[in-house]
């Protein structure tokens, strides 16, 4: 029989039960016992599904209270010194991830650890911090408790563990003159202890994730795998797990490792299959990741079957079937969607349905007649979609075909634009602003929900949103900001809002995916060619501008971010989708400036995230990604100031492309790194204006005036003060008004103080 399994299951719950439990706990409205009960219920739902679908192994250890990398840190007893307070526990984990565990705790002021993107996904992880004297010791028993819990439920358990080399690689040194790879021997001792515990629990297979094997690794990192897997060898069988790209370049090393099997991602890198099968050691199993864990499209099971049948004939029971990666990147259950059109609903599969796909594909490979017929019928809708009359639009194709080498150029260069903007905007030194969104209160969310449910008329809804805009403008006047935003009360999400306005998208009711901690996003799905039918933001921005003499920013989400934060089509290129979006946004920019909006922010927080894992593919992506942004801004007049915003990113490797965006002002998240990310801009001598985030909005901590002044002083050593803006490091949607106003008042006070000193 073909072994079947998945690499991981969503841990948020079908109705985001985990999100609400976590936030209740953080607000002291829920005790830890209740929180843990919710976590247990969610785990058992996933385990029960895998068992009911007949998967060979039930995956355990994939659950996380905040992030699985942070969970690994606690497992290893690896806690930043500033957060060490007795034996590591759940509150320790929350302090590292958030800066504090609950409201009113005694740890206020201790900075959260850095957070960054999990490879090229929109999931974030907490970056491990390494010092030369670090020690590792199994210190948190959650993983083993979950394995025992699953075993007690009668499940055949396959634990998941982040591998030692990937754990080290994904962290950072917090001391100079020190190489974190030197910690490997100490770390391996802890991993030996972990596998020993699994052995005592009667575990047969353990899934050890080493996703960095899909990267272009330096030789010293690649060679470290030999030592690691020789030392941690035990009687527990190891499935070495890779995903997100091909591993063919590392096969010579991988096949020498002391493991028992290999998992590969055949959705991200289908061409690697033949090379891997050829090189596979005779005693290894091969886990084929054929069911896409990162998209919502129904699998072409019949096509998968035809592709794998020759491999099955060659490997026999050594061929396993699984998801390409963890299903945490997928929404939970398509059955919850009651408002999707029947034609489009049959195109999709969420996590629950993907587990079923794994089952049917495995059965079909074993020759089960019912499964063979099921796979054939299951593939019909996704194949028929290619010929759907409303998916491919001639007018959109014609516009894309009109792209030339000059269609992405603004009418003037930066120096000329800067002169015009200075004359028109008349902004002070160190101008203060925010990134766009203001707190989404319960009243705001209830208003949008009432309108969607038909309980508010269009007129009532518009008047309500106008009242929220009035309130945000009043607050900004009182705070003393220099450039205002309208607050985005009408927007549920910075991408979903535009997906709802543009044709070519399908949105969902419950298609939530975890981004980090309790933060979930609901990506829209690109189902057809994209075009703008009417203005999307002009009315709200124009109304907000009418309330103040201060400049009001128009707020747009950039083409690459909309692409990266939605589930894309798989029948056309990502470049084509980005260009379709770019032309729609270009029309919006033109209408905004005609309505009197002289500052327009086109956010691109995902541009680094979209970078392919392989270096050889970087430049092609960056070329079309930056061009798409420039097309979006190309209708802006010289006096219209174009801003962009980028989230947690390592800019060093793409600084040329960041400059190539040709934005007049770029705002970036730098507070958690103590302005270290500005070094890339300093070394490059970045010519345009920069707004380094001066406080971390993901933490409830309110920064002091002195703290902000200190960060701005550090920034001024890297960027001339006349080119610095002052802003938080991201939107304020998730924060409360009390902390938001206090933080912004401190920010304005710090900017005004330094403005006086530096003028």
Neighbours of 149 (CB within 10 A): 16
Q: Is 122 annotated as a binding residue?
A: yes
b vs e for 398-412, b when ≥16 Cβ sit within 10 Å of the residue's Cβ?
ebbeebeeeebebee
Alpha helix stretches (DSSP H) within 534-573: 538-545, 559-564
Residue partners of 327: CB distance under 8 A and separation at least 6: 6, 7, 8, 9, 10, 293, 351, 354, 355
Task: Enter the DSSP assignment of 430.
Answer: S
Q: Is 62 annotated as a binding residue?
A: no
Alpha carbons 431 and 599: distance in angstroms, whole number: 13
Q: Is 298 annotated as a binding residue?
A: no
Strands 115-117 and 124-126: antiparallel
| 698 annotated active-site | yes
Per annotation, catalytic residue among 5, 68, 124, 698: 698
Q: Is 83 annotated as a binding residue?
A: no
Beta-sheet strand order (sheet of 599-603): 553-557, 599-603, 641-646, 665-668, 689-692
Q: Is 631 annotated as a binding residue?
A: no
Q: Is 107 annotated as a binding residue?
A: no
Three-state SS across 221-240?
A: HHHHHHHHHHHCCCCCEEEE
Q: Which of 683, 687, 593, 596 is nearest to 632 (CA)?
A: 593
Contact 461, 467 (CB under 8 A): no
Alpha carbons 661 and 71: distance in angstroms, whole number: 37
Residue partners of 486: CB distance under 8 A and separation at least 6: 469, 472, 473, 540, 541, 543, 544, 552, 555
DSSP assignment of 566-616: SB--SSS-HHHHHHHHHHHHHHHHHHHHHTT--EEEEE-TTTTTTS-SSGG
Q: Following CA atoms 260, 266, 269, 275 in sequence, which dihedral angle do they give, to the nearest 10 degrees?
A: 50
Q: Is 26 annotated as a binding residue?
A: no
Q: Is 520 annotated as a binding residue?
A: yes
Q: Is 129 annotated as a binding residue?
A: no
Distances (CA, A) of 483 to 425, 473, 596, 693: 10, 11, 14, 15
Q: Is 16 annotated as a binding residue?
A: yes
Alpha carbons 136 and 180: distance in angstroms, whole number: 13
Q: Is 565 annotated as a binding residue?
A: yes
Q: Is 739 annotated as a binding residue?
A: no
Q: Is 669 annotated as a binding residue?
A: yes
Q: Is 645 annotated as a binding residue?
A: yes
Q: Is 437 annotated as a binding residue?
A: yes
Run of H or E residues at 483: none
Report the half-sphere exposure of 414 (CA within 13 A, side-chain side).
15
Q: Is 730 annotated as a binding residue?
A: yes
Alpha carbons 361 and 265: distance in angstroms, whole number: 16
Alpha carbons 239 and 260: distance in angstroms, whole number: 6
End-to-end CA distance of the chain: 76
Q: How far is CA 12 from the centre of its chain?
A: 15
Contact 733, 496 (CB under 8 A): no
Tokens at 523, concatenated: 């990506």
Q: Is 19 annotated as a binding residue?
A: yes
Alpha carbons 102 and 89: distance in angstroms, whole number: 13
- Which residues line the annotated binding site? 16-19, 117, 122, 435-437, 488, 519-520, 565, 603, 609, 645, 647, 669, 730
- Which residues line the annotated binding site for L-homocysteine? 435-437, 488, 603
- Which residues line the annotated binding site for L-methionine? 435-437, 488, 603
- Which residues line the annotated binding site for Zn(2+)? 645, 647, 669, 730
Q: List, by residue number, the catalytic residues.
A: 698
């Amino acid at each position: 029989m073909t072994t079947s399994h998945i690499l991981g299951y969503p841990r948020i719950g079908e109705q985001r039960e985990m999100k609400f439990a976590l936030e209740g706990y953080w607000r002291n409205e829920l005790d830890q016992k209740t929180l843990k009960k919710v976590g247990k219920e969610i785990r058992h739902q996933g385990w029960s599904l895998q068992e009911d679908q007949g998967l060979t192994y039930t995956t355990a250890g994939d659950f996380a209270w905040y992030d699985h990398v942070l969970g690994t840190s606690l497992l290893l007893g690896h806690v930043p010194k500033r957060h060490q307070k007795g034996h590591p526990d759940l509150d320790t984990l929350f302090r590292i991830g958030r800066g504090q565990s609950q409201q009113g705790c005694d740890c206020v002021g201790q900075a959260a650890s850095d957070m960054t993107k999990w490879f090229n996904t929109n999931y974030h992880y907490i970056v491990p911090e390494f010092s030369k004297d670090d020690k590792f010791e199994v210190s948190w028993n959650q993983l083993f408790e979950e394995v025992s819990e699953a075993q007690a439920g009668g499940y055949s358990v396959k634990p998941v563990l982040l591998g030692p080399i990937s754990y080290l690689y994904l962290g950072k040194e917090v001391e100079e003159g020190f190489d974190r790879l030197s910690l490997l021997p100490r770390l391996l001792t802890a991993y030996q202890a972990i596998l020993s515990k699994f052995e005592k629990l009667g575990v047969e297979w353990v899934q050890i994730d080493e996703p960095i094997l899909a990267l272009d690794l330096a030789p010293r990192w690649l060679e470290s795998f030999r030592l690691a897997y020789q030392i941690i060898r035990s009687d527990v069988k190891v499935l070495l797990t890779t995903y997100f790209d091909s591993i063919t370049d590392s096969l010579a090393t991988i096949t020498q490792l002391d493991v028992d099997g290999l998992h590969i991602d055949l959705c991200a890198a289908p061409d690697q299959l033949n090379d891997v099968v050829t090189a596979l050691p005779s005693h290894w199993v091969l886990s084929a990741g054929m069911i896409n864990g990162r998209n919502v499209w129904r699998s072409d099971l019949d096509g998968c079957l035809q592709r794998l049948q020759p491999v099955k004939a060659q490997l026999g029971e050594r061929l396993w079937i699984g998801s390409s990666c963890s299903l945490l990147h997928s929404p939970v259950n398509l059955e919850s969607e009651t408002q999707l059109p029947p034609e489009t609903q049959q195109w999709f599969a969420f996590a629950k349905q993907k587990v079923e796909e794994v089952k049917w594909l495995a059965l079909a490979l074993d020759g089960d007649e019912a499964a063979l017929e099921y796979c054939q019928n299951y593939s019909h809708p996704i194949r028929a979609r290619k010929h759907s009359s409303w998916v491919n639009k001639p007018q959109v194709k014609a516009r894309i075909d009109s792209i030339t080498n000059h269609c992405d150029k603004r009418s003037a260069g930066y120096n000329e634009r800067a002169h015009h903007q200075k004359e028109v905007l008349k902004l002070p030194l160190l101008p203060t602003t925010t990134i766009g969104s203001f707190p989404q209160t319960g009243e705001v969310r209830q208003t949008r929900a009432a309108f969607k449910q038909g309980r508010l008329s269009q007129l009532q809804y518009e008047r309500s949103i106008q009242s929220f805009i009035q309130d945000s403008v009043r607050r900004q006047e009182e705070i003393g900001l220099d450039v205002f935003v309208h607050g985005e009360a009408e927007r549920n999400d910075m991408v979903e809002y535009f997906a709802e306005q543009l044709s070519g998208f399908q949105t969902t009711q419950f298609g939530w995916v975890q981004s980090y901690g309790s933060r979930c996003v609901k990506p829209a799905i690109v189902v057809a060619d994209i075009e703008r039918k009417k203005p999307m933001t002009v009315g709200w921005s124009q109304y907000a501008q009418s309330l103040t003499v201060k400049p009001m920013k128009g707020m747009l989400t950039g083409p690459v971010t909309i692409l990266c934060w939605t589930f894309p089509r798989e029948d056309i290129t990502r470049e084509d989708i980005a260009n379709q979006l770019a032309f729609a946004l270009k029309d919006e920019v033109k209408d905004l400036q005609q309505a009197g909006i002289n500052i327009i922010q086109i956010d691109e927080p995902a541009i680094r995230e979209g970078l392919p894992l392989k270096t050889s593919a970087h430049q092609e992506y960056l070329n079309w990604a930056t061009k798409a942004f420039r097309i979006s801004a190309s209708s802006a007049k010289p006096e219209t100031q174009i801003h962009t915003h980028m989230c947690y990113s390592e800019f060093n490797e793409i600084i040329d492309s960041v400059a190539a965006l040709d934005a007049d002002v770029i705002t970036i998240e730098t507070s958690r790194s103590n302005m270290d990310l500005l070094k890339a801009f300093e070394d490059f001598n970045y010519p345009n204006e920069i707004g380094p985030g001066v406080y971390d909005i993901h933490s409830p901590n309110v920064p002091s005036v002195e703290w902000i002044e200190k960060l701005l002083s550090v920034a001024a050593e890297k960027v001339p003060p006349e080119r610095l803006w002052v802003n938080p490091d991201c939107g304020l949607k998730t924060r409360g008004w009390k902390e938001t106003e206090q933080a912004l008042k401190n920010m304005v006070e710090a900017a005004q103080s330094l403005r006086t000193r530096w003028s």
